[in-house]
A and B are shown apart, each in its own frame.
Chain A
Amino acid sequence: MAAYPDNLHYTKDHEWIRAEGDAGIVGITDFAQEQLGDVVHVQLPRVGEKFSAHDTFGEVESVKTFSELYTPVSGEVVEVNEALVDSPELVNSSPYGDGWMIKIKLSDSGELDRLLSASEYEDFIESQKEE
C-alpha cells in the first residue's frame, strides 16, 4: 500500500479526506499514526455536530502522547467509526481503511480543492523531516 494514496486530499495537520458524493470520509495519515505510535483511544464527535474547516473534532491518544484531530473541511458529521471505541489500533493497522474516523457532509465541496494532493503532502512531510 502506498503511504499516501492519490485519491485522497490531505492537510498539514496530517488528516486525509476522501470524497464520496456530497460527503467525505476523514482519517489520519500513515505518517501521523506512525508518529503517534500505538493508538489506545480515539475521542470522536456525535453524529449531527457541525464543524468549520480546521475545527477540533476529536482527539487521538497513543501510549506515549495525544493529538487533536482537525476537520479538513466544513460540514456536519453524518457517521462516526464506532469500531474505534473497542479497536483503536485500527488507526495504526489501517489508517486509510478500517481506521477512518468520521464521515462529514460537505457544506462547500470547493474546500476540497484547497487541500494538499498526495504529492504535495509528501513534499510537506519531507520538508518537515529536514528541519
Chain B
Amino acid sequence: MSTEQLKKTALNEAHRKLNGRMIDFGGWDMPVQYPAGTIVEHTTVRTAAGIFDVSHMGEIDISGPQALPLIQHLTSNDAAKLVDGQIQYSALTYPEGTFVDDILVHRFAADHYFLCVNASNTDKDYEWIQGKASGFDAAVKNLSANYTQLAIQGPKALGVLQQLTDADLSEIKYYWFVRDRVDGVPAIIARTGYTGEDGFEIYFDPNESERIWNKILEVGKSYGLIPCGLAARNTLRLEAKMALYGNDIDHTTTVLEADLGWICKLGKDDFIGRDRLAEQKENGLTRKLIGFEVIDKGIARDHCPIFIEGEEAGIVTSGSPAPFLKKNIGLAYLPIEQTAIGTHFEIDVRGRRLAAAVVQTPFYKRSK
C-alpha cells in the first residue's frame, strides 16, 4: 500500500520532522520509533516520561436519556457504577461473550458518555453500536476525526503536563478525568494509559495538534521526556499485561478466557453475551490467557505454536523481548489445566523448541 492511501493523524508532519520511522499500522501511517530507538523509548517511559501520538484511536459519543441503558446493554462492565468524571475499562461483547472491542467508557454526565475505542475497530464498533441503538432514546456519534489524542506517560508525566494546565493534576485519580485546558486549548485530561506507568491521555482539537505536541516536547525536555513510537507502546503494554485487540483478544476469545473477569459483571442487568459468559463461568473455562517467560535463550514471537508433551496446545498471542525487565516474555491461551504458575511448556520458534514457563502477571508493576 502506498503512503498516499494510508490515513494520517494531524501530527504526521511532526513525526517526519523528528525522523520518526513511519509504518503502515492497520491502515494508519504511524511512527513505529524515533531515532532514540525502542529500547531507549521504553526505558525512558519507565524512568522519566514519553509522549505518544495515539490519535488513530477512535472516539464515540453516546448521549440521551437512555445513553446508560444502551451502554449497559452493549458492555460487560457495570457502567451504572460510574459517576461524572470517572472512567471504566470495559468490553463491547458479542452474543458469544467474545470481544467486539475493549474500550474505555468516560462519563461526562448521567446522560452523556465518551468511548475511546481501538483504531482498527472504530468503524466496526460504531456500526455495531448504531445497529443496537434503535430501541434506545440515545444519539451515537463517531467523533474520531474531532480529536487528537496524546498519551503522556511515565513517572514524570504529571510534572510535565502540570506546566501547561491550571487543573490540579495531582487531584485527578487513576481512571478519572477533568475537562480543562492544556496550554489554553480545551481538552479532556484523563489519568489513563497503556504502558503500566502513571500518566495522562489528553483529547483536544486536531487543529492545535502540532503546537501542543511541540509545547509538551519543549517543557518536557528538562524532565527527560522524549517522543515514543508504537513499538515501545507495544512492549510497555505487554510488560504490564494489557491485552491488545487483534492479538490477545478478539471475536473468538471470551472476556473470561482473557482473564478479565473483573470487567465481567454478570450480576448487572442483561447485556449482550451475558448468558454465554454466565454459562462459561458455571461450567468452568477450558482455556485461559496466561503470561509466560522464555527460559531458553531466544525470543518467542506472535503466532509461534506452543507444545505441551509433544501436542500442539496453543499459540503465542503476543511475544517480545521485554526491554525494562530484560527477559523474553509473552501471552498465550493455554488449556486450563496447564495454566498454574510454574507450568512448563515449549514454544516452536522457527523450528527451534524453546522452554517456557507460566509466570505471575503483570510482568511489570510500577512501585506506587
Chain A positions near chain B (C-beta within 8 angstroms): 37-38, 40-41, 61-64, 66, 92
B102-110, B171-179, B296-304: which lies at the A interface? B296-304
B32-40, B47-55, B162-170: which lies at the A interface? B32-40
Which applies to chain B's interface (DSSP): helix, strand, loop or mixed? mixed
User: Whole-angstrom distance between the alpha carbons of A61 and B39 in the complex?
Assistant: 13
User: What is the minimal beta-carbon distance from A120 to any residue of chain B, in angstroms?
Assistant: 25
Q: Is the CB of A38 within 8 A of B38?
A: yes
Q: Which residue of A lies closest to B39 (CB)?
A: A38
Within 8 A of A (CB), among B276-304: 297-299, 301
Known A37-B33, A37-B231, A40-B321; judge A63-B39 contact (CB<8 A). Answer: yes
Size of B's binding interface in residues, CB under 8 A: 15
Q: Is the CB of A66 within 8 A of B231?
A: no
User: What is the minimal beta-carbon distance from B31 to any residue of chain A, in angstroms?
Assistant: 12
Contact of A63 among B21, B38, B297, B298 (CB under 8 A): B38
Best-buried of A40, A63, A66 by chain B (most CB within 10 Å): A63
Q: Which residues from chain B contact A38 at a C-beta distance below 8 Å? A: 37-39, 323
User: Whole-angstrom distance between the alpha carbons of A40 and B322 in the complex?
Assistant: 10
> How many A-B contacts are there with CB distance less than 8 Å?
34
Please tell me if B118 contacts chain A, counting CB pairs below 8 Å. Answer: no
Q: Which residues from chain B contact A41 at a C-beta distance below 8 Å? A: 297-299, 321
User: What is the minimal beta-carbon distance from B324 to any residue of chain A, in angstroms?
Assistant: 12
User: What is the minimal beta-carbon distance from A127 to any residue of chain B, in angstroms?
Assistant: 16
Q: Which residues from chain A contact B21 at a C-beta distance below 8 Å? A: 37
Q: Which residues from chain A contact B39 at a C-beta distance below 8 Å? A: 38, 40, 63
Q: A38-B39, A41-B321, A64-B32 are in contact. List 5 more A-B contacts (CB 8 A).
A: A37-B21, A38-B37, A38-B38, A61-B299, A66-B299
Q: Which 7 A-B pairs have the closest CB atoms?
A: A38-B39, A63-B38, A38-B37, A40-B321, A64-B231, A38-B38, A63-B321
User: What is the minimal beta-carbon distance from B234 to any residue of chain A, in angstroms?
Assistant: 8
- Binary contact track B314-355/A, C-beta < 8 Å → 1, others 0: 000000110100000000000000000000000000000000
User: Whole-angstrom distance between the alpha carbons of A64 and B299 in the complex?
Assistant: 10
Q: Is the CB of A66 within 8 A of B301?
A: yes
Within 8 A of A (CB), among B16-63: 21, 32-33, 37-39
Please tell me if B235 contacts chain A, counting CB pairs below 8 Å. Answer: yes
User: What is the minimal beta-carbon distance from A34 to any residue of chain B, in angstroms?
Assistant: 8
User: Whole-angstrom distance between the alpha carbons of A37 and B21 in the complex?
Assistant: 10
User: What is the minimal beta-carbon distance from A122 to any residue of chain B, in angstroms?
Assistant: 19
A-B contact pairs, 11 of them (CB 8 A): A37-B32, A38-B39, A40-B321, A41-B298, A41-B321, A61-B321, A63-B38, A63-B39, A63-B235, A63-B320, A92-B37
